[in-house]
């Protein structure tokens, strides 16, 4: 099971629950399951069916831009965080 | 510490493009000259905020020597489409209207029209004849004012986004971010000492010495060729194609040598305009910005307002943190608030923390990245509060940092957990340093320290290497070289192949020849493009093993690539060059290639020491001694790593002590030149001592971490702490320029 | 405004006698870059504050953006293109390369010209003298440390060679 952290601004959807355990192979499965658990979740973080470009997904030590197809390991820790650029 | 012995890595060869750059032969964009080329001039708004009622270009068009005039009407109408630019994304409608205003101008310097003529003076005279009728609107340039309900609205339909939820009424606040970790109320309840302060920082500019410049040649067949000063030729190609609504494949971007960027040469400003002028005139067009244009109409980095609170226990453990941040976005949404929020507590392991961040539109040019964008502002605040906590707890400034420094496993306020990182090692190097162990004496003198962090990213890079018949290599890569990166990339290829740096001939390719490569930014080039070069070398070795097997009559599995890059198998042994030559003679020629897209931040930490003397009569700060310590993972070319540390530090010193945008009463910029926007000169700074810590990055074959950005982060904080120790005056505003410091020293009852 | 009549100017640039036509409003920098193809001198600000366009005018470093083309009649001008002697680099160029005293390189021509002018007069210039004399040249990449050291090293090499 991957541990998925609910962004603090979306905890209004999760009744304040900060994280959930989800059995998933990739980010798409996580997002779909989260949307079932907490209706409206997907709409908040997705644009045109993929992770919104203003966001990126942190999976363990990587910050991936692969969006929905990014792979998740059984004990991964997953966060949705702002996308950042550098100078 | 990494102990591997390398032959090339860690040495200091002369850079490959060096001779061109010391003889004046290197071609920067403004040096380009094409047959029949015209010169462009951009007419810019004199107002900070106004409606454009009409534009009459007829008189300008009639002038002899004028070949084309464009206005917003010539730009395609692009929708509110979000374009992913690899490193971040952009709303195309904003990008397009920032290049050329449509109905409104949102800052002084906003482009409203452009002229192409046989001579830049004629173009300028023609631009002066364009009649623009404006209706001047109220304007706003201070971030807190812009957040008020009654503030002049820049964008009528802008609704605050709170992670996917839109506000109901428009405002100047495009984004509100919120991060939480632990239970912040409980954390502060646990604290024995709590300190809260407000901080303000001024808008500052990257101040690259080369103004933005472009040459565009729009062919009759629809092919658009661009030569430009850009940090990323591929993102420039995409932005230009999207703004002009033409196929990506029709655009060729050739990056010229570039005279500095620091984050400010990623967004397009001139390219679409030059392209349209070229299309209209049928001739190549060159536009260069004036220095005033650069200040007024490119992308400075955000001014900010910050309110930050820290709480610690008597033993020095920082248990709670709270930050409320509002950063300038400039005229269009999309400032640096995200990384500001993510960096505010990035150096300390704080159990309970909460961060609120606001991106705020106001009548300044759209902000851009500037070396560790968003991080310097928050470090200025937090690193001072950490010093104040130490003072209240009777601890040493270093001790409290050592006690709370993040290490592997610490959880960031935005959620993720750090992999192995090097802040502790930097603090340890600081503690051992000769500087730290040399007492500072004398009146009005003080020493300050500060830590700093920047993520450093990976993104996409490509490299291809063609082997010549003598075994030397032509390396083609796509990273614009702003500070010697050709060489740091080539050195990694030389290392893996057992060659010398001089055996590699690195070239920065254009968008038609190089494989896709993201921007030179995010401290990523030596890390990621270096990794691509390494992998391309590995690819060559694999090919050579297969071919050598035929030559040596054995299987490829029997062939070994030795540590020195030589090949052996079936009783034979040859160095890379010898084998390559033999293979060439045998009819084989080789091209190695690789694309990489590492996704792990390289996590660059640093710690600085500043010694200052403050003149009590004038408030002028003299820096007596300065040391910059940083974890480079592994320094490929130590001279250029030192150069990044020194250069970033001095930019941070300028930000700390002198640089700021001043605004007139009508919100137009008052100091758009290098005389009044005064960046540090050689006389203003001492030698910058450097200590390179090498903790080795497990995510890179040679252990590289990005180094370019972190060094700008600590200087304002280190200097503020030094100033406090010299004067007993806490400076909560940047810049700490003589008038401001002098005034603060007069009003602070605790001052000397 | 009708185009102004061009003026004929004869001058010496990097040891070679040159004549050119220029409008009275054209700066020496524009003449060098646009008329004569000497693009080594760079325009960073066009108002005398960055030093990227530094050339020697009768042996003195000047910002060529602040000199008019018509002013150089009969003068001797030296630009970055004239620093290297035939096929070998000048010590100040060598030391900039060996000491990694450049990053983006846009300010480098101005620094080289100004540094050579200083070292020709005072090869043993102290750090303070170097910082004072080159304070009119801005560099945004290096933080100046390596530039100062390169100029010091070049001075030593020049006096050893002399």
Mark yes or no for CB contact A8/B523 under 8 Å.
no
Say if residue B272's pLDDT is above 80: yes
The answer to whether the Cβ–Cβ distance between B179 and A52 falls below 8 Å is no
- Sign of the C-alpha dihedral, residues B595, B16, B209, B301? positive
Give the count of Cβ contacts less than 8 A between chain A and B. Answer: 112
Chain C contact present for B588, CB below 8 A = no
Residues B305 and B358: their CA atoms lie apart, in Å, by 10
pLDDT digits (tens, 9 = 90+) for B328-381: 999 999 999 999 999 999 999 999 999 999 999 999 999 999 999 999 999 999
Strands of the B50-56 sheet, one edge to the other: B104-105, B50-56, B131-136
Binding partners of C (≥3 Cβ pairs within 8 A) = B
In angstroms, the separation between the Cα of residue B171 and the nearest Cα of chain C is 37
Whether the CB-CB separation of B452 and B379 falls below 8 Å is answered with yes
Full DSSP string of C114-146: HHHHHHHH-TT--HHHHHHHTTTS--SSS-SHH
Chain A partners (3+ C-beta pairs within 8 A): B
Query: Which chain C residue is nearest to residue B16, measuring alpha carbons?
Result: C97
For residue B347, is it left (φ>0), alpha (ψ between -120 and 50) or beta?
alpha
Residues with Cβ within 8 Å of A10's Cβ and at least 6 positions away in sequence, in order, are A38, A41, A44, A45, B163, B164
B125 touches chain C (CB under 8 A): yes
Task: Find the closest chain C residue to B481 by CA distance.
Answer: C104
Closest residue of C to B690, CA-based? C145
Q: Is the pLDDT of residue B749 over 80?
A: no
Q: Is B288 exposed, middle or buried (0-12, 13-18, 19+ CB in 10 A)?
A: buried
| pLDDT higher at B624 or C2 | B624
Whether residue C104 and residue B288 make contact (CB cut-off 8 A), yes or no, is: no
Other Cβ atoms closer than 10 A to B36: 12
Task: Let me know: does B277 contact B116? Beta carbons within 8 Å.
Answer: yes
C52 touches chain B (CB under 8 A): yes
Give the pLDDT confidence of B17-40 residue by residue, as tens digits: 999 999 999 999 999 999 999 999
The confidence band for B4, taking pLDDT boundaries of 50, 70 and 90, is confident
**Contact assignment for C43 to B30 by CB distance below 8 Å:** yes
C17 Cα to chain B: minimum distance (Å) = 20
pLDDT in the model for residue B2: 47
pLDDT digits (tens, 9 = 90+) for B682-706: 999 999 999 999 999 999 999 999 9
Do the chains contact at B260 and C145, CB–CB below 8 Å? no
As a whole number of angstroms, the distance between CA B502 and CA C97 comes to 14
C116–chain B Cβ distance below 8 A for any pair: no
Chains that touch B (3 or more CB pairs under 8 A): A, C
| Nearest-Cα residue of chain A relative to residue B520 | A87
pLDDT confidence of C1, banded at 50, 70, 90? Answer: very low
Burial of B507 (C-beta count, 10 Å sphere; 0-12/13-18/19+): middle
Residue B75 confidence class, pLDDT cut points 50, 70, 90: very high
Residue with tokens 């990794």: B531
User: Could you give the CA distance from residue B732 to residue B735 in angstroms, rounded to a whole number?
Assistant: 9
pLDDT in tens, B230-257: 999 999 999 999 999 999 999 999 999 9
* Residue A56 C-alpha, separation from nearest chain B C-alpha, in angstroms: 10
Regarding chains B and A, contact by 3 or more CB pairs under 8 A is answered as: yes
Q: What is the largest CA-CA distance in chain C?
A: 57
Domain B32-137+210-259+265-297 sits in CATH at 3.90.1170.50
Contact criterion met (CB < 8 Å) for B162 and A9? yes
Query: Token pair for residue B426?
Result: 């930097």
Contacts of A65 in chain B (CB under 8 A): 86, 459, 599
Residue B28's Cβ-count burial label (10 Å; 0-12, 13-18, 19+) is buried
CB-CB neighbors (< 8 A) of B30 in chain C:
33, 39, 42-43
* Residues from chain B contacting residue A44 (CB–CB below 8 Å): 163-165
Question: How much is the pLDDT for A85?
Answer: 72
CATH code for the structural domain at B458-596: 3.30.365.10
Question: What is the structure's pLDDT at B3?
Answer: 63
- Interface with chain B: mutation pick from A55, A77, A84, highest number of B CBs within 10 Å: A84
Cβ–Cβ of C102/B22 closer than 8 Å?
yes
Question: Out of B266, B339, B600, whose CB is closest to A84?
Answer: B339
B25 inside 8 A of chain C by CB = yes
Contact A87 B709 (CB under 8 A): yes
B647 touches chain C (CB under 8 A): yes
> What is residue B83's predicted lDDT score, i.e. its pLDDT?
74
Task: Give the pair of three-digit tokens for residue B292.
Answer: 């005033």
Q: Which two tokens stand for residue B116?
A: 């192409």
Query: Smallest Cα–Cα separation from C112: which of C87, C132, C95, C88?
Result: C95
Average pLDDT over residues C14-32: 97
- Predicted confidence (pLDDT) per residue in B85-129, tens digit: 655 678 899 999 999 999 999 999 999 999 999 999 999 999 999
Phi, psi of B650 (to 5 degrees): -70, -35
Average pLDDT over residues B425-452: 98
Contact between chain C and chain A (3 or more Cβ pairs less than 8 Å apart):
no
Q: Residue ranges of the domains in chain B?
A: 32-137+210-259+265-297, 304-456+601-747, 458-596
Q: Is the pLDDT of residue C16 over 80?
A: yes
Same fold flag, B304-456+601-747 and B458-596:
yes
Residue B750 scores a pLDDT above 60? no
Q: What pTM value is reported for the model?
A: 0.97
The B residues from 680 to 699 touching C (CB cutoff 8 Å) are 680-683, 685, 687-688
Q: What does pLDDT average to over chain B?
A: 96
Q: Could you say which residues from 54 to 73 on chain C have a Cβ atom under 8 Å away from some Cβ of chain B?
A: none
Q: Is B738 on the interface with C (CB under 8 A)?
A: no
The closest alpha carbon to B178, from B331, B366, B322, B369, belongs to B322
The pLDDT of residue B751 is 45
pLDDT at B517 over 70: yes
Cα B109 from chain centroid (whole Å) = 23
Q: Is the ipTM of this structure higher than 0.90?
A: yes
How distant is the Cα of C10 from the closest Cα of chain B, in angstroms? Answer: 23
How far apart are the C-alpha atoms of B83 and C132, rounded to whole Å? 48
Q: Given the DSSP bridges, would you call strands B473-477 and B504-508 parallel, antiparallel or unpaired?
A: parallel
B684-to-B185, B340, B380, B635, C145 alpha-carbon distances in Å: 45, 28, 21, 28, 12
Q: Note the pLDDT of residue B748.
A: 63
Structure tokens that stand for B198 in this block: 């407000």
Tell which residue, B518, B538, B514, has the closest CA to residue B461. Answer: B518
DSSP alpha helix (H) spans, B134-260? 143-146, 184-190, 233-244
> How many Å lie between the alpha carbon of A68 and the closest alpha carbon of chain B?
15
Q: Identify the closest residue of chain C to B686 by CA–CA distance.
A: C145
Quick one: pLDDT band at residue A65, thresholds 50, 70, 90? confident
Cβ within 8 Å, pair B164-A63: no
Q: How many CB atoms lie within 10 A of CB C10?
A: 12
Residue range B304-456+601-747, CATH number: 3.30.365.10
Q: Which of A62, A65, A85 sits opposite B522 (nearest CB)?
A: A85
**What are the distances in angstroms from CA B333 to CA A51, B108, B145?**
19, 17, 16
Closest Cα of chain C to B460: distance in Å?
Answer: 23
Q: Do C147 and B651 touch (CB under 8 A)?
A: no
Put simply, the answer to whether A62 touches B600 (Cβ < 8 Å) is yes
Q: What percent of chain B has pLDDT over 70?
A: 98
The answer as to CATH 1.10.8.870 being correct for domain C7-82 is no
pLDDT tens for residues B655-690?
Answer: 999 999 999 999 999 999 999 999 999 999 999 999
Q: How far apart are CA B673 and CA C49, in angstroms?
A: 8
In this predicted model, what pLDDT tens digit does every residue of B606-663 receive, in sequence order?
A: 999 999 999 999 999 999 999 999 999 999 999 999 999 999 999 999 999 999 999 9
Which tokens sit at B395?
Answer: 């601890």
Helices and strands: H and E segment counts in chain C = 5, 5
CB nearest to C104's CB, from B125, B207, B260: B260
How far B131 CA lies from chain A's nearest CA (Å)? Answer: 38
Please name the residue ranges forming H helices in B100-257: 120-128, 143-146, 184-190, 233-244
Confirm if B325 and B339 have CB atoms less than 8 A apart: no
Chain B residues in contact with C40 by the CB 8 A cut-off are 23-25
More confident residue, A65 or B441: B441
Strand arrangement, sheet containing B193-201: B165-166, B161-162, B175-181, B352-361, B318-330, B304-312, B193-201, B733-734
Which domains does chain A carry?
2-82 (3.10.20.30)
DSSP labels for A17-36?
--EEEE--SBHHHHHHHHHH
- Partners of residue A59 on adjacent β-strands: A62, A78
User: What token pair was written down for A27?
Assistant: 């980010």
- The answer to whether B415 contacts A58, with C-beta atoms less than 8 Å apart, is yes
List of residues 6+ apart from C9 with CB closer than 8 A = C19, C20, C21, C22, C31, C69, C70, C72, C73
Chain C interface mutation, best of B21, B22, B38, highest count of C Cβ atoms under 10 Å: B22
Q: With residue B546 as reference, give the H or E element that holds it.
A: helix B530-552
Give me the residue spans of the domains in chain C.
Answer: 7-82, 91-161
Q: Which of residues 9-48 of C touch B (CB under 8 A)?
A: 23, 25, 33, 37-47
- On the question of pLDDT at B484 being above 60, the answer is yes
Instruction: Identify the band that residue C85 occupies on the pLDDT scale cut at 50, 70 and 90.
Output: confident
Q: Are B30 and B655 in contact (CB under 8 A)?
A: no
The number of angstroms, rounded, from the C-alpha of B110 to the middle of its chain's C-alpha atoms is 23
Place of tokens 């029949």: B36
Contact present, B203 and B661 (Cβ < 8 Å):
yes
* CATH 3.30.1300.10 is the classification of domain C91-161: no
């Amino acid at each position: 099971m991957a541990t998925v952290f609910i962004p603090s601004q979306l905890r209004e959807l999760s009744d304040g629950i900060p994280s959930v355990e989800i059995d998933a192979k990739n980010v798409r499965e996580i997002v779909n399951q989260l949307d079932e658990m907490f209706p409206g979740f997907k709409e908040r973080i997705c644009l045109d069916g993929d992770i919104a470009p203003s966001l990126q997904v942190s999976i363990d030590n990587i910050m991936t831009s692969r969006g929905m197809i990014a792979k998740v390991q059984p004990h991964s820790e997953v966060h949705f965080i702002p996308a950042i650029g550098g100078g | 510490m990494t102990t591997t012995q390398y032959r090339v890595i860690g040495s200091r060869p002369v850079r490959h493009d060096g001779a061109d750059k010391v003889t004046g032969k290197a071609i920067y964009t403004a040096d380009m000259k094409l047959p029949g080329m015209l010169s462009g001039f951009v007419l810019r708004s004199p107002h900070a905020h106004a409606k454009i009622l009409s534009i009459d270009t007829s008189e300008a068009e009639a002038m002899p020597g004028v070949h084309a005039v464009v206005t917003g009407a010539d730009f395609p109408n692009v929708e509110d489409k979000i374009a992913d630019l690899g490193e971040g994304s952009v709303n195309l409608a904003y990008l397009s209207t920032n290049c050329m205003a449509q109905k409104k101008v949102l800052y002084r310097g906003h482009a409203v029209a452009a002229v192409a003529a046989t001579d830049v003076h004629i173009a300028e005279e023609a631009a002066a004849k364009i009649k623009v009728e404006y209706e001047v609107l109220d304007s706003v340039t201070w971030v807190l004012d812009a957040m008020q309900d009654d503030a002049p609205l820049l964008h009528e339909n802008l609704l605050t986004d709170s992670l996917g939820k839109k506000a109901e009424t428009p405002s100047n606040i495009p984004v509100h971010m919120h991060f939480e970790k632990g239970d912040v109320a409980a954390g502060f309840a646990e604290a024995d000492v709590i300190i809260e302060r407000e901080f303000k920082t001024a808008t500052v500019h990257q101040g690259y010495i080369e103004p933005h410049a472009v040459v565009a040649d729009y062919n009759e067949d629809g092919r658009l060729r661009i030569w430009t000063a850009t940090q990323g030729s591929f993102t420039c190609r995409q932005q230009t194609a999207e703004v002009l609504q033409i196929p990506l494949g029709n655009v060729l971007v050739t990056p010229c040598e570039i005279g500095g960027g620091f984050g400010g040469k990623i967004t397009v400003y001139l390219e679409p305009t030059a392209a349209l002028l070229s299309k209209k005139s049928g001739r190549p067009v060159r536009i260069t910005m004036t220095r005033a244009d650069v200040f007024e109409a490119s992308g400075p980095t955000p001014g900010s307002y910050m309110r930050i609170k820290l709480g610690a226990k008597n033993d020095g453990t920082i248990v709670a943190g709270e930050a409320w941040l509002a950063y300038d976005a400039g005229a269009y949404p999309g400032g640096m608030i995200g990384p500001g929020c993510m960096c505010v507590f990035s150096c300390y392991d704080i159990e309970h923390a909460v961060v609120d961040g606001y991106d705020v539109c106001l009548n300044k040019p759209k902000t851009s990245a500037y070396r560790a964008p968003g991080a310097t502002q928050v470090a200025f605040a937090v690193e001072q509060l950490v010093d104040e906590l130490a003072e209240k707890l009777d601890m040493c400034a270093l001790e409290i940092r050592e006690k709370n420094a993040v290490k592997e496993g610490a959880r960031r306020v935005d959620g993720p957990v750090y992999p192995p990182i090097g802040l502790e090692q930097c603090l340890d190097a600081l503690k051992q340093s000769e500087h730290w162990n040399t007492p500072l004496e004398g009146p009005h003198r003080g020493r300050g320290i500060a830590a700093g962090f920047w993520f450093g990213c990976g993104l996409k890079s490509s490299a291809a290497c063609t082997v010549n018949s003598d075994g030397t290599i032509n390396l083609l890569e796509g990273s614009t070289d702003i500070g010697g990166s050709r060489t740091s990339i080539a050195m990694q290829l030389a290392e893996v192949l057992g060659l010398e740096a001089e055996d590699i001939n690195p070239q920065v390719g254009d968008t038609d020849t190089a494989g896709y490569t993201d921007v030179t930014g995010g401290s990523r080039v030596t890390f990621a493009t270096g990794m691509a070069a390494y992998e391309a070398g590995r690819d060559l070795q694999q090919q050579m093993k297969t071919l050598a097997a035929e030559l040596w009559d054995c299987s490829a599995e029997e062939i070994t690539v030795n540590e020195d890059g030589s090949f052996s198998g079936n009783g034979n042994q040859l160095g890379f060059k010898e084998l390559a030559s033999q293979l060439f003679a045998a009819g084989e020629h080789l091209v190695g290639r690789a694309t990489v897209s590492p996704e792990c931040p390289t996590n660059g930490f640093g710690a600085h020491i500043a010694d200052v003397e403050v003149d009590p009569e004038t408030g002028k700060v003299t820096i007596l001694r300065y040391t910059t310590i940083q974890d480079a993972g592994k320094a490929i070319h130590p001279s250029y790593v030192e150069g990044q540390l020194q250069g970033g530090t001095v930019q941070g010193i300028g930000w700390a002590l002198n640089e700021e945008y001043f605004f007139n009463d009508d919100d137009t910029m008052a100091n758009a030149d290098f005389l009044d926007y005064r960046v540090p000169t050689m006389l203003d700074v001492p030698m910058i001592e450097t200590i390179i810590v090498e903790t080795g990055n497990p995510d890179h074959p040679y252990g590289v971490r990005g180094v370019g950005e972190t060094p700008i982060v600590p200087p304002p904080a280190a200097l503020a702490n030094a100033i406090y120790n010299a004067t007993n005056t806490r400076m909560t505003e940047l810049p700490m320029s003589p008038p401001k410091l002098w005034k603060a020293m007069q009003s602070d009852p605790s001052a000397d | 405004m009708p185009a102004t009549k061009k003026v004929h100017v004869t001058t010496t640039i990097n040891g070679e006698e040159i004549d050119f036509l220029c409008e009275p409003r054209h700066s020496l920098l524009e003449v060098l870059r646009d008329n004569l193809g000497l693009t080594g001198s760079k325009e960073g600000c066009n108002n005398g504050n960055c030093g990227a366009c530094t050339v020697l005018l009768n042996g003195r470093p000047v910002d060529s953006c602040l000199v008019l083309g018509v002013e150089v009649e009969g003068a001797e001008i030296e630009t970055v293109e004239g620093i290297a002697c035939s096929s070998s680099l000048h010590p100040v160029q060598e030391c900039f390369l060996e000491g990694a005293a450049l990053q983006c390189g846009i300010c480098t021509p101005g620094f080289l010209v100004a540094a050579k002018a200083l070292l020709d007069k005072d090869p043993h210039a102290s750090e303070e003298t170097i910082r004072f004399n080159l304070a009119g040249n801005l560099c945004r990449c290096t933080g100046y440390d390596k530039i100062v050291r390169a100029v010091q090293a070049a001075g030593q090499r020049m006096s050893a060679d002399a």
